[in-house]
Amino acid sequence: MASTIVAKFNRYLPGILLGLVLGGAGGRAQTLPLAENLINLASSQGEELLYSSQARRDFLPLSTQFVTQINQAYCGVASSVMVLNALGIKAPLAPEYAPYHVFTQDNFFTANTQRVTTIERVRQRGMTLAQLGQLLASHGATPQVYHAADSSLGDFRRKTIANLNQPHNFVLVNYLRRTLKQEWGGHISPLAAYHQQSDRFLILDVSRYKYPPVWVKAEDLWQAMNTLDPDSGLSRGFVLVNRP
């Protein structure tokens, strides 16, 4: 009997998880059309990729923390809030939810983060890959920052798949949207799963008013990360985020 229940649960799990992602605020936004190189998670093909994914340990914890960035410069802030909450890092008080503690995009900036960059700077320009790692570290997480120019597609694929197969760690990617035929500049979002046969990663795009979660070819994502960030003078890349 127990095995039958488990089998039924596993059968319906992708639909349950997909509902968590698409049912939140912004999940039903009138998003922009996708180019042919991307697969919408909410499509039948996208759902099948999730169902048959071999590396999706991060999908459920990220789904329960999935947020929409509150302005067009806060992709790094929204992505950081998601992983910090999913990691269970000690959070500050959230006045709107007092007496409860949780990371939000409104309480993300503290005296510690001001040593990395200012809230005003992020509102105007976003953040660089290095600043993303430093901001996560300022909240107690343990980030490993990899610039694409100093790595390789194979190294990225190996490190990221290993991360997605393990609990209690996450992957954030910093990439140029234009390379993926999206609009237009640099962006940051978490990865949630990998599908081996199609060699695609699932991006949980935090600009949910603009694009849905998408499956993207590993090589295409790599090319989008291996682009110059004019604010740092370095390539974009990815960050592996662990507990302290």
40: which strand partners? 214
**How buried is residue 138: exposed, middle or buried, by Cβ count under 10 Å (0-12/13-18/19+)?**
middle
> CA angle 57-226-85, nearest 5°?
35
Active site residue 187: yes
Marked catalytic residue, from 75, 147, 195, 220: 75
The single residue of 58, 205, 220, 229 carrying the catalytic annotation is 205
State the catalytic residue, choosing from 187, 195, 220, 229: 187
CA distances to 120, 137, 179, 219, 227 from 231, rounded to whole Å, are 15, 20, 18, 24, 12
What's the CA gap between 212 and 216, in Å, rounded? 12
Cα–Cα distance measured from residue 74 to residue 109, given in angstroms and rounded to the nearest whole number = 12
Please report, for residues 132, 153, 183, the alpha-carbon distance to residue 217 in angstroms, rounded to integers and kept in the order given. Answer: 24, 11, 18
* Catalytic site includes residue 205: yes
Active site residues: 75, 187, 205
